[in-house]
Structure 1
Amino acid sequence: MKRVIIGLSGGVDSSVAAYLLKKQGFEVIGLFMKNWHDDSVTISNECPWLDDSNDAMLVAEKLGIPFQTVDLSEQYKERIVDYMFNEYEKGRTPNPDILCNREIKFDVFMKIAMELGADYVATGHYCRKGTIIKDGKEVYQLLSGLDNNKDQSYFLCQLSQEQLSKSLFPIGELTKPEVRKIATELDLVTAEKKDSQGLCFIGKVKLPDFLQQQLKPKEGVIVEVSKDESIFNEQILKFDSEEEKLRYLSRKIDYNVDHGRVVGKHQGAHYFTKGQRKGLAVGGTAEPLFVIDTDVYHNVIYTGQGKDHPGLLKKALFVTNDELHWIREDLALSTDERMEVKARIRYRQPLENATIYKVESGLYVKFDNFQSAITEGQFVAWYIDDELVGSGVIS
């Protein structure tokens, strides 16, 4: 019997994944990851991880599998939380869920599992794993989940061949309603449990509240920039090369306060992110205000009216070499090569047609259509059909 250690999170997805593995004849062990216990920042009196670990234990008991809790909070603080604050201070917007998978679940957790004699690690992600033989070698594929509404391949966009080789995703072929149905039939305590919201490590806390505890409030101004401002006037430029054109299309506009008018105050530019609409507390505009950029250095938030504001829309982005990652290393482009792909810049966004161009210093992603709020620090992932082949941090 092959041994599988599954990350039991206390949610319905991992509960059903554990059941399916057992049914397939694996020796299954449930492990709950405790990633956070600094009560000074949980703000509310609720302690989500305690409830979750209790639910995970009840599921393991019901399924008749061994269960234990492993405390990863030290590694979590170091690899995820500190990184997040560092990124926010730089005015970038990190994605803690993607980092949590790359750094914790499929690295620290996987190593612990292997020390416990596991052949595989399993999670309750809605995605699938494929295997093909290429040049006589096994190559692993990360495929999107069959439930389009729940596909979570994007969150695993930083996994390596090595990590994929030891991973199993038992519910990737199922839809969410099917998963809930199985849990109900088994009378699992998690059957009706809502999907967890908020940060993947402190449960019910909203990100700005959490950031406020670590990044001190600092009053600054909110500037509204008109969509008719001259900085948005696209000149018809002649470019000497494709790369020069891509550099232009992916450029960051340098705003200053003279580009608009002051319409309000905020408590810290590092609490806001591009595309954000809520939390500005500025009224009286014909259309809702959206954040089009933040300047953490001068502590200014730039906004524009309406979701079609030119400050929100861009067709290209850039990923530097050191933040470029290929799951399918065999498909990695060399300098001056290009590839037609489908890509997304956030979870649940429909896949968009794009072309990727490899240049000396990194990789450009150029979309066929304008994208809203391309945000530095977030991840772009690209697919061929339903296979996620590569990803990178937007620079």
Structure 2
Amino acid sequence: MKIRLRENMFSDREQLFLEDGELKAYLFRFESGVCGIKLENSLGYITVLPYQGQMVWDAVFRGRSLKMQNSCHFPRFRKEFRDTYGCYVMHCGILRMGCPSEQDTHPHHGELPYVTYDEAAIVSGTDEKGRYLAVTGLYEYNKAFGDHYAARPMTKLYAGSSLLDIILEVENLGSAPMDIMYQCHINNAVEEGAKIYQTLPWDADHMVARTSVPQYSEVNPKFLELLDRVEKDVKATRVITEDDLYDPEVVMFLRNPIRDEKGYVHYLYRHLDGTADYTTYKADVLTCGVRWIVHHKDWNAMGMALPGTAEPEGYLAEKEKGNVRKLPGGQVFRSVITAGSLTAEEAEEKQQLIEKIMGENN
């Protein structure tokens, strides 16, 4: 069942809109007036911005918020995401993506992060994982004498689960091939002492630190010492300590991860209480990965694994690398990512799986 929404359905007071057993959907507006949808199950809830980028603004399970921490406590009406940035999941791309160089003409991370969607809807259904509620929408890009595409994201919350399915379909509505670049920006919170496990070797062949600094950032001298340590040994990022200053940020390219027998790669951020944040996806579709870490008095984000089709160096640099794909006219690009939180028991199982896959390389 799919129910299309209208903006006049949203009010300042949170209202129950749909109930299906333990699954519930609420409509509301943030104090800024931005529309929000709260999907709830027995373990917690997520909040999605149906018209502003279809961002997953927050995900709270078993009483813990998974998302990055900063001074942006609620979304606002702005033209670009950096003016209202505090979300858990953000879609980036599609025609252009990444941090633009001085020669690039596109905005930071392209047109998709905070674009206004033409349509929004709530979907209820059942698939191989069980019963779910989902938020979906439509954004149509139609540039005169240029590209024409439709973006259709969907975020699914399942009954009894603290993992989300984050889906994006992009259809080329034009007759000519179009460039496509995509990245799913998943922003977990940092916990000092938490440890990363991954189906990716901890070496300089598979993890490459970006040495350039974004145009909007000023370099903290202590950061240069950290960046030097990371360049010498990427394992310096596996556990963040109290003395580590990720200011402005550390970005690492995650290349050629090891896949399991079904083609999935796994990233686990194990907290001190044994629970974990988790991200998994098929690396044949999302061939590039990025780690983004920022940790200082104003910002706290562990972008453990940002899956995508390209690295975030801007259109021109990624085209030079061969990371800009062509989507033929009438064809559809589809991405599926699973992310969320795990109990200590579930996390232990995933850690054992990763250690089995990696062996001595873990």
TM-score band w.r.t. shorter chain: under 0.3
TM-score by length of 2: 0.27
- Largest Rg, 1 or 2: 1
Q: Which has the higher strand share?
A: 2
TM-score (structure 1 length as normaliser): 0.25
Bigger helix fraction: 1
